[in-house]
């Protein structure tokens, strides 16, 4: 059990994450200690369907959230009066789940008379490297998850400038769809990475969409289609272990090339706008992939920059990053009204990023 902190000088935020298929709760201290965190991944609930079913996810969040909350507060040895604020993912995401988490957070904030902080899930990912590595602003961020693929300059809390985004699929989605056509189950990323370890990345000539084009946007649809066509051409489909490993390795290598090229463009732009580019931060579920991390590290180093990647458990969806983003907003003097509506879409750089009411 964690030691009870001096509550007079420190700040502790409770964070709730329910935007996809993870129900998660965490208590994070302003000294960057994760006092406690609990997580329930709904893999079993969705496995039979090959992807996340929104209604099943929302129901599972409803069933799991309260026990996780009680356990997190007990593990952290925190009573409600010791909390500075309650933060919850309020979008973007599957709206049923977002409503469950945000409503719980508002109810607790009301009952315990604490400030409520509405956190953008993407902001949670964007600031996670400040929790794990104390990274200073500004930095260049590659955000790669199941629903998003973006390059952005993170200039401060709430100050995000999108350099590029995907024109079609997110990178995690491309991993998941590749896994699906190969019969590898959901989520696909970890399975593809595991198989790729024993594969020949040069065997299949797969496309690198947008290669040679200026800018920082991404496209993965053509790559995904090429993988499907390659599977269809194989005599045994993806049933032969070596064929499957070679295809996964070739796919992952194509993804690495695409990321390396687009990040190279983004580092140039960042250096032009901010004078220098010393850090490339990678976050989001796909950042758990060690092969891609290695590729990004080489890309950053070739530019004279460091690659900063939070530990894998902070890259995939979790509540510590939501509590931390809430804490950063709280420290910036921002609070939200209990009238704020959960939202399925919420761009990180839109004017409506300023949902928040300064006090
Ligand atoms: O950030 P995240 O947990 O949830 C979203 O907000 O989307 O990201 C989940 C995505 C899934 O598409 C999953 O397949 C992918 O991250 N992912 C990976 C790996 N681990 C998770 N992709 C590639 N390699 C991995 N090791
Ligand atoms: Zn996420």
One digit per residue, the tens of pLDDT, for the chain of length 359 reads 444 444 445 899 999 999 999 999 999 999 999 999 999 998 888 877 877 889 999 999 999 999 999 999 999 999 999 999 999 999 999 999 999 999 999 999 999 999 999 999 999 999 999 999 999 999 999 999 998 999 999 999 999 999 999 999 999 999 999 999 999 987 899 999 999 999 999 999 999 999 999 999 999 999 999 999 999 999 988 889 999 999 999 999 999 999 999 999 999 999 999 999 999 999 999 999 999 999 999 999 999 999 999 999 999 999 999 999 999 999 999 999 999 999 999 988 865 554 443 33
The answer to whether 5 touches 77, Cβ cutoff 8 Å, is no
> Is 93 in the same domain as 27?
yes
**Bond into 337 cis (ω within 30):** no
30 and 111 co-located in one domain: yes
Residue 204 φ then ψ, to 5°: -105, 130
Based on the fold, state whether residues 76 and 156 are members of the same structural domain: no
User: Which residue's CA is minimally distant from atom 22 of ligand 1?
Assistant: 189
Structural domain including 17 reads 12-128+315-331
Domains in the chain, number: 2
Task: Judge whether 212 lies within some domain.
Answer: yes
149 and 106 both lie in a single domain:
no
One domain, residues 47 and 160: no
Q: Which residues contact 348 (CB under 8 A, 6 or more apart)?
A: 120, 122, 123, 126, 150, 152, 160, 162
Ranges of beta strands (E only) in the chain are 12-17, 22-29, 34-41, 85-91, 116-120, 139-144, 149-156, 159-165, 279-283, 306-308, 334-335, 357-358
How many Å apart are CA 270 and CA 259, to the nearest integer?
16
CB atoms inside a 10 Å sphere around CB 304: 11
Q: Is residue 337 part of a domain?
A: no
261 and 162, same structural domain? yes
Q: Are residues 42 and 107 in the same domain?
A: yes
For residue 229, give the CATH number of its domain: 3.30.420.40
Judge if 92 and 167 occupy the same domain.
no
Residue 242, C-beta contacts closer than 8 angstroms, at least 6 positions apart: 198, 199
Residues 196 and 251 in one domain: yes
Looking at the fold, whether 98 and 55 belong to one and the same domain comes out as yes
CA of 311 to the centre of ligand 1 (A): 13
Distance between CA 342 and CA 327 in Å, rounded? 19
Neighbours of 30 (CB within 10 A): 17
Which protein residues are within 6 Å of ligand 1, measured from CB? 20, 145-147, 172, 175-176, 187-190, 193, 284-286, 288-289, 316-317
Residue 319 domain-assigned (yes or no) = yes
In ligand 1, the atom with minimum distance to the C-alpha of 179 is 14
164 and 302 fall within a common domain = yes
The residue written with tokens 């024109």 in the block is: 167
213 in a structural domain = yes
């Amino acid at each position: 059990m964690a030691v009870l902190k001096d509550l007079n000088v420190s700040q502790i935020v409770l964070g709730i994450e329910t935007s996809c298929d993870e129900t998660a709760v965490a208590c994070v201290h302003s000294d960057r200690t994760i006092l406690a965190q609990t997580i329930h991944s709904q893999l079993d609930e969705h496995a039979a369907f090959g992807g996340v079913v929104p209604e099943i996810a929302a129901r599972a969040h409803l069933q799991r959230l309260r026990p996780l909350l009680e356990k997190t507060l007990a593990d952290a040895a925190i009573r409600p009066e010791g909390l500075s604020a309650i933060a919850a993912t309020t979008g973007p995401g599957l709206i049923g789940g977002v409503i469950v988490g945000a409503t719980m957070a508002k109810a607790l904030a009301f009952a315990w008379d604490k400030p409520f902080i509405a956190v953008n899930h993407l902001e949670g990912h964007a600031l996670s490297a400040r929790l794990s590595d104390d990274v200073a602003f500004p930095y260049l961020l590659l955000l790669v998850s199941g629903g998003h693929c973006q390059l952005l300059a993170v200039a401060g809390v709430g100050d995000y400038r999108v350099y590029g985004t995907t024109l079609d699929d997110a990178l995690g989605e491309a991993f998941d769809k590749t896994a699906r056509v190969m019969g590898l189950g959901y989520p696909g990323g970890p399975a593809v990475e595991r198989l790729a370890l024993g594969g020949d990345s040069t065997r299949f000539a797969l496309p690198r969409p947008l290669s040679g084009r200026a800018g920082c946007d991404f496209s993965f649809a053509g790559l995904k289609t090429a993988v499907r066509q390659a599977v269809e051409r194989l005599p045994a489909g993806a049933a032969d272990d070596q064929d499957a490993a070679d295809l996964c390795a070739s796919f992952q290598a194509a993804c690495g090339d695409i990321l390396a090229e687009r990040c190279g463009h983004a580092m140039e732009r960042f250096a032009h706008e901010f004078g220098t580019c010393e850090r490339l931060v990678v976050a989001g579920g796909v950042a758990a992939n060690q092969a891609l991390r290695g590729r990004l590290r080489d890309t950053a180093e070739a530019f004279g920059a460091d690659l900063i990647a939070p530990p894998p458990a902070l890259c995939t969806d979790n509540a510590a990053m939501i509590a931390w983003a809430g804490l950063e907003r709280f420290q910036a003097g921002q609070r939200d009204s209990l009238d704020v509506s959960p939202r399925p879409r919420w761009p990180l750089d839109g004017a409506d990023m300023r949902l928040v009411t300064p006090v």
